């Protein structure tokens, strides 16, 4: 397996290649004066099984185009197979036409990702809500990994708390459940009503008086959801609030808002580049490449 990566995935790709002892090959990327993008695969990868690690964050839309161009370049070079690791799968939250005239973005973007002709997709903690499985929006092989176990392991090693687990909304239950099974502790799920990009109402209750509350969720974007639930838990007697979040987008002043709300520790990963990465997903990705990526024959793929 040869690892290549897009312009925002260099450190993760290096970590995966080091972890699994995979050869790393580079992709030259640049932007033309008019904003169009240029890519070129540096080495001749004809006949190789290639794993493209392509973070689609930040600047998602630009990186989707970069991804399409890299895959086309790899195909044009005659690679034997192309597996793609998109650690954070964007556009998944618009999984329904909430209002007349809207797209189902999760479906539209998954179709685009698949349409360029890849053999398999690996992703981490995708936001699956109305679509329960990746197979409902992709027809290629998809591997859905979770970063929750490695974040739980890190948390327990470093904080050793007795915790009560909290999910800020119904979609978070799939992630909270994993932590609950691992720690053998109960969890509470809240109801979230979103009024706008930076406005949510949370409803629910949890027995948290004098307890450490540990929130588990997939994404922190503007920090609105997390800041609200932290505030609620502290107002209702929690002795401390920590959080495990797979994808820390942390838009604008999100970190400040979280600190101000009283969040003590935010444990997150490197699925997207961020300044507070605590646990790397590189070992997860490397071990799935080693154990699951059987050789796919070029003939089979082209059919
Ligand atoms: C949505 O349900 C997700 O799981 C997150 O709760 C949400 O994306 C967080 O967004 P924000 O940080 O902007 O509230």
Q: Which domains does the chain have, with CATH numbers?
A: 2-146+281-302 (3.40.50.2020), 148-278 (3.40.50.2020)
Q: Where does residue 196 rank: exposed (0-12), middle (13-18), buried (19+ CB within 10 A)?
A: exposed
Q: Is the CB of 239 under 6 A from ligand 1?
A: no
Q: Is the CB of 125 under 6 A from ligand 1?
A: no
- Cα separation, 275 vs 247, in Å, equals 12
Q: What angle do CA 166, 167, 171 make, to 5 degrees?
A: 165
Q: Residues 23, 96, 107, 192: which is the catalytic one?
A: 192
Tell me, what's the pLDDT at 295?
Answer: 53
Tell me, what's the pLDDT at 301?
Answer: 44
- Cα separation, 287 vs 66, in Å, equals 26
Nearest alpha-carbon partner for 83 in 48, 40, 108: 48
Residues in the chain where the model's pLDDT stays below 50: 296-299, 301-303
Tell me, what's the pLDDT at 160?
Answer: 77
Q: Which atom of ligand 1 is nearest to the CA of 93?
A: 1
Tell me, what's the pLDDT at 299?
Answer: 46
Q: What backbone torsions phi and psi does residue 59 show, to the nearest 5 degrees?
A: 65, 55
Q: Which atom of ligand 1 is nearest to the CA of 221?
A: 12
- Cα separation, 273 vs 31, in Å, equals 20
Which of the 8 DSSP states describes residue 81?
E
User: Taking a C-beta distance cutoff of 8 angstroms, is the pair 231, 262 a contact?
Assistant: yes
Query: Catalytic: 192?
Result: yes
Contacting residues for 86 by C-beta, under 8 A, at least 6 apart: 54, 55, 56, 67, 113, 121, 122, 123
């Amino acid at each position: 397996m040869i690892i290549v990566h897009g312009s925002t995935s260099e450190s993760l790709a290096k970590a995966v290649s080091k972890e699994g002892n995979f050869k790393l090959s580079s992709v030259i990327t640049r932007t033309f004066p008019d904003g169009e993008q240029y890519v070129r695969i540096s080495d001749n990868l004809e006949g190789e099984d290639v794993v493209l690690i392509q973070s689609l964050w930040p600047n998602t839309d630009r990186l989707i185009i970069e991804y399409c161009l890299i895959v086309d370049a790899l195909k044009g070079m005659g690679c034997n197979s192309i597996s793609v690791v998109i650690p954070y799968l964007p556009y998944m939250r618009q999984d329904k036409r909430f209002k007349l005239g809207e797209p189902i973005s999760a479906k539209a973007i998954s179709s685009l990702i698949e349409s360029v002709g890849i053999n398999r997709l690996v992703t981490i903690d995708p936001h699956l809500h109305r679509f329960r499985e990746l197979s409902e929006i992709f027809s290629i092989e998809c591997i859905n990994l979770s970063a929750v176990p490695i974040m739980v392991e890190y948390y327990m090693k470093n904080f050793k708390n007795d915790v009560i687990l909290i999910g800020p909304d119904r979609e978070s239950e799939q992630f909270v459940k994993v932590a609950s099974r691992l720690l053998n502790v109960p969890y509470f799920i809240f109801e979230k009503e979103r009024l706008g990009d930076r406005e949510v109402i949370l409803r629910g209750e949890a027995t948290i008086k004098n307890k450490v509350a540990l929130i588990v969720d997939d994404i922190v974007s503007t920090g609105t959801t997390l800041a609200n639930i932290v505030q609620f838990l502290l107002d209702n007697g929690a002795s401390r609030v920590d959080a495990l979040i797979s994808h820390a987008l942390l838009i604008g002043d999100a970190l400040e808002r979280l600190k101000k709300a009283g969040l003590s520790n935010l444990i997150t990963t490197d699925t997207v580049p961020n300044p507070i990465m605590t646990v790397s997903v590189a070992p997860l990705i490397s071990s799935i490449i080693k154990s699951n990526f059987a050789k796919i024959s070029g003939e089979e793929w082209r059919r």
